[in-house]
Amino acid sequence: MTGRFHDKVAFVTGAARGQGRAIALAFAREGADVIAVDICGAVAADSPASVLQDFDETVAAVEATGRSILARHADIRDLPALEAVLAEGVERFGRLDYVCANAGIAGMGAADALSEDQWDTMIDVNLSGAWRTCRAAIPHLKRQGAGAIVFTASATGLKALPGVAHYSAAKHGVIGLMHALAAELGPHWIRVNAVCSTTVRTPLIAHEEHYKLFRPDLEHPTEADIAKAASRINALPIPWIEAEDVANAILWLCSDEARYVTGAALPVDAGFCIK
């Protein structure tokens, strides 16, 4: 712990588990207080949902570092709800410094096999939800006169994979949104970037339906069954990275070490994009 973000405040969406929890905890370990939201409920049938206990565990982990957390249940498809949480958080902590638009869903399906509901839900959560997160937070950052926004994007927002057309389209859109916001917010000293990861081992992908993408020959594939096949999408011979790898990249992008980095889509992808 270096205290890089001592007495600063980070807003993290999708904080109940996985990458969101890792991000919230990483900020807290570096001295920041956290405003956190999560829906803690089902959004899409093929995307495993977080639950209340997950969020409670995040709260306990952050508080164990000695920092404070304001945790509220909110849907990133609900702009007034996000605005209310941020208003409460800024009133409590007195500031907002960093925004981590992390909440999202996973899903599978070729473009010509997706239902309209699958497509619409994916875009509404992973792209429009990211915009709503920023829409709610930007006024606070502008009033403060500085800040940083980081999107949890994906390497599939830079290079598509078959079988996840709606997910890839949404993440390509997130990269475009990031670039636009970086241009718009630069004069306000608000930096905007994205982390583009390869597969991250979280509950979103740790289930049989996802495993079947890599091992369609097996009726009930396990994590062990797919490890070798999953490694083939990356240049480095690993099947996935950990949530902490994403969190570490986000901390760097928010830190003074990256004070002149904006508009960047940073691959943390084990070489996925060059494979």
Would you state the pLDDT for residue 100? 98
Q: Is residue 143 part of a domain?
A: yes
Do both 83 and 218 map to the same domain? no
Q: Do 129 and 254 fall into the same domain? A: yes
18 and 35 belong to one structural domain: yes
169 located within any domain: yes
Count of domains for the chain: 2
Q: What is the pLDDT of residues 14-46, one digit of tens each?
A: 999 999 999 999 999 999 999 999 999 888 877
**Among 156, 109, 103, 107, CA closest to 131:** 103
Spatial separation of the C-alpha atoms in residues 196 and 122, rounded to whole Å: 17
Catalytic site includes residue 167: yes
| 150 in Cβ contact with 175 (< 8 Å) | no
Residues 6+ apart with CB under 8 A from 112: none
Question: Cα(187)–Cα(265) distance, rounded to whole angstroms?
Answer: 20
Same domain, 219 and 99: no
Looking at the structure, tell me whether residues 154 and 193 fall in a common domain.
yes
**Does 154 share its domain with 229?**
no
Same structural domain, 53 and 158 = yes
Contact 167, 225 (CB under 8 A): no
What CATH number did the domain enclosing 250 receive? 3.40.50.720
pLDDT at residue 45 in the model = 77
Comparing CA positions, the residue from 75, 38, 74, 80 lying closest to residue 57 is 38
Q: How high is the pLDDT of residue 195?
A: 98
Q: Which two tokens stand for residue 13?
A: 């969406």
Cα angle vertex 150, ends 147, 155, to 5°? 160
Q: Is residue 145 part of a domain?
A: yes
Q: Is residue 275 part of a domain?
A: no
Q: Are 215 and 254 found together in one domain?
A: no
In the predicted model, residues of the chain with pLDDT beneath 70 are 1
Q: Indicate whether 95 belongs to any domain.
A: yes
Per the structure, the complete domain to which residue 189 belongs is given by 9-203+242-267
Q: Are residues 67 and 174 in the same domain?
A: yes
Residues 137 and 155 in one domain: yes
Could you give the CA distance from residue 81 to residue 74 in angstroms, rounded to a whole number? 6
Residue 1 lies inside a defined structural domain of this protein: no
Structure tokens of 73?
Answer: 């249940």
Check whether residue 149 and residue 113 sit in a common domain. Answer: yes
Q: Determine the Cα–Cα distance for residues 188 and 184; give it in Å rounded to an integer.
A: 8
pLDDT of residue 177: 98
In a domain, 274, yes or no: no
273 within domain boundaries: no
The verdict on 211 and 125 lying in the same domain is no
